Amino acid sequence: MPKVVFIALDGAQRVVDANVGESVMAAAVRNGIPGIIGECGGNCSCATCHVYVHDEFSASVGGANDMEDDLLDLGVADRRDTSRLSCQIKVTEDLDGLTVQIPEEQ
């Protein structure tokens, strides 16, 4: 099982086991990671699963898709180059160890 690392504001790390094919948001919510809400269940409708992807993974994760881009633009407080909605990042074996930071507010 690939692992995903979530880094909270205070620097605390939580590592969760994720299933290949599910989204980073789904793995976070099921495991009760604070700060990842995911109200819409991964439908790109709520913009409450915003994360910053760590630099070393940003190339393999890729950029936001068109719909996600609109949500990030209008729905998140502090958008950066590494911003993604974690419901739109699919877990793969290659992303084992993926590290994302949780923003201050959703």
Cβ at position 26, least distance to another protein in Å: 7
Q: Which residues bind another protein (CB under 8 A)?
A: 19, 22, 26, 29-32, 39-41, 43-47, 66-67, 70-71, 73-75
Cβ proximity to another protein, 39 vs 56, nearer residue:
39
List the structure tokens of 105: 């507010």
Eight-state DSSP code of residue 69:
H
**Cα-only R_g, the chain:** 12
Question: Which residues, listed in sequence order, are joined to residue 17 by a DSSP beta bridge?
Answer: 3
Please give the order of strands across the beta sheet that includes 50-53. 13-17, 3-7, 98-101, 50-53, 83-85
Cβ at position 42, least distance to another protein in Å: 9
Cβ at position 35, least distance to another protein in Å: 11
Cβ proximity to another protein, 35 vs 103, nearer residue:
35
Cβ atoms of residues 3 and 96 within 8 Å: yes
Cβ at position 2, least distance to another protein in Å: 15
Cβ proximity to another protein, 7 vs 46, nearer residue:
46
* CA terminus-to-terminus distance, the chain: 28
Cβ proximity to another protein, 5 vs 64, nearer residue:
64
